[in-house]
Amino acid sequence: MRELRYDAVVVGGGAAGMAAALALDSRGKSCAVVDREPSLGGILLQCVHNGFGLIEFDEELTGPEFAERFAARLADSRIATFLGATVLEIAEEGEEKLVFCVSPSLGGLRIRARAVVLAMGCRERNRGNIRIPGTRPAGVYTAGLAQRLVNIEGYVPGKDVVVVGSGDIGLIMARRMSWIGCKVHAAVEILPYPSGLARNIVQCLRDFSIPLYLSHLTTSVYGRDRVEGVEVAPIEDGALQPEKSFRIPCDTVLLSVGLVPENELSKGAGIELNPTTGGPIVDSTLMTSRGGIFACGNVLHVHDLVDYVAEEARRAGLFAADWLEGRRPRKELRVKVGPNLRYVAPGKVDPSRENKLYMRTMIVKNEALFEARLDNAVVKSVKKAHIQPSEMLSLSLGPAELERARPDSMLELSIQ
């Protein structure tokens, strides 16, 4: 088995992996990026719509254009890239991490490093995850698979479409399928509010007169060899109303029912996972429960914008460089998830520096008050004109807010 050695290895070559690697390289650390796909960019390569880069580059780009900007930077750096290589295992030997990879061109590869950054992204939930009963005909796809078929492979998966769920990929594919001449009959969402960004509801559904059934459950899929339709029933006052169910004829069902951080590799490495997000539990430096292994981007928690993925991953790379140089936080405070918040990442803050926290709310509300409390005293409050679970919230806290912290202090974030 061929063996190589670097200061750090980044697992994943999407936006998160590239941003983390570039940050490590900027600090003079030797770095390798390993990705199972033949090209850098990850899921961005199939996202041919615009809306990327407004924060990162101050201009609107398509997914491939966003990825190309980062890939060009990697090409001009000292970063080694191993594409078409799958990471099988991350092990430890003393202070070193051993990253075992295989690929058709390289065969077996063992990379030694003192730091690892996990940036594997996320995967889609499928029909098995949400347990829609009915037959098992052809024509049921996750929205992301349909996106790849249309945008990269050049296939049209069907002509009459129903989208189950209202996640952003499903909304974007409703528009994409309409553009290529298909009829999108409806998007069906179990929740009383959309799961996708407001701009996608407007641009992908309303602009194409596609009905959105909120508080409706897809109760069955019909068809023997090919999908023939779905049955949908409303939910009223928290109870399913089967007597009010109706059928929507279609030959294709696109599932847009959520994303799950890709953490099989993390589990194998013995990394502790957060049951709420599905990603690793990390400290104020984005380091996991295994020293020297960091996590960022959608493998840590599912983001709404790739610009935030790149921002978080850049910090993970810099924190990994700090680790390599022997720098550790002197003191950390645990972050408590308060009322109306689903999660906060990371779960700790360092009072001696500026901290960027990401979170998602559990409610839809106008004129909301976002509060940070240190030992029950409000240290920062921010008014939000509108909040909803589909849009990630962020907050910066630093020495100005945390200077009074004691070793046993508790920081709580909440929405009022």
Claim to verify: residue 244 and residue 134 sit in the same structural domain: yes
One-letter identity of residue 311: E
- Both 143 and 249 in a single domain? yes
Enumerate residues 6+ apart whose C-beta is below 8 A from 169: 124, 143, 144, 147, 256
Residue range 347-379, pLDDT digits in tens: 999 999 999 999 999 999 999 999 999 999 999
Residue 181 CB neighbours (<10 A): 8
Same domain? For 230 and 375 the reply is: no
Mean pLDDT of successive 10-residue stretches along the chain, which has 416 residues = 96 98 98 97 96 95 98 97 97 96 94 98 93 92 97 97 96 97 97 92 96 97 96 96 97 96 97 97 98 98 96 98 95 95 96 96 94 95 93 95 90 95
Query: CATH number, domain at 379?
Result: 2.60.40
Same-domain pairing of 97 and 214: no
Identify whether residues 297 and 371 lie together within a single domain.
no
251 and 133 housed in the same domain: yes
Structurally, the chain folds into a number of domains equal to 3
pLDDT of residue 1: 85
Give the 3-state secondary structure of residue 411: strand
Indicate whether 164 and 250 sit together in one domain: yes
Provide the pLDDT for residue 327.
94
CATH number of 236's domain: 3.50.50.60
- State the Rg of the chain over Cα: 22
387 and 322, same domain (yes or no): no
Cis peptide upstream of residue 211 (ω within 30 degrees of 0): no
**Amino acid in the structure at residue 58:** D
Q: Are residues 20 and 96 in the same domain?
A: yes
What pLDDT score was predicted for residue 106? 87
Residue with tokens 């960019």: 41
Distance CA 7, CA 408 (A): 35
Do 149 and 268 sit in the same domain of this protein?
A: no
The per-residue pLDDT for 276 is 96
Among candidate residues 208, 235, 257, the one where a domain is terminated: 257
Note down the domain range covering 92. Answer: 2-123+260-328
Q: Of 66, 43, 68, nearest to 55 (Cα)?
A: 66
Q: Let me know whether 316 and 350 are in one domain.
A: no
Last residue of one domain, picked from the residues 328, 363, 383: 328
What's the confidence (pLDDT) of residue 407?
84
Integer Cα distance of 8 and 320 in angstroms:
8
pLDDT of residue 4: 97
Q: Are residues 84 and 136 in the same domain?
A: no
328, 352, 372 - which closes a domain: 328
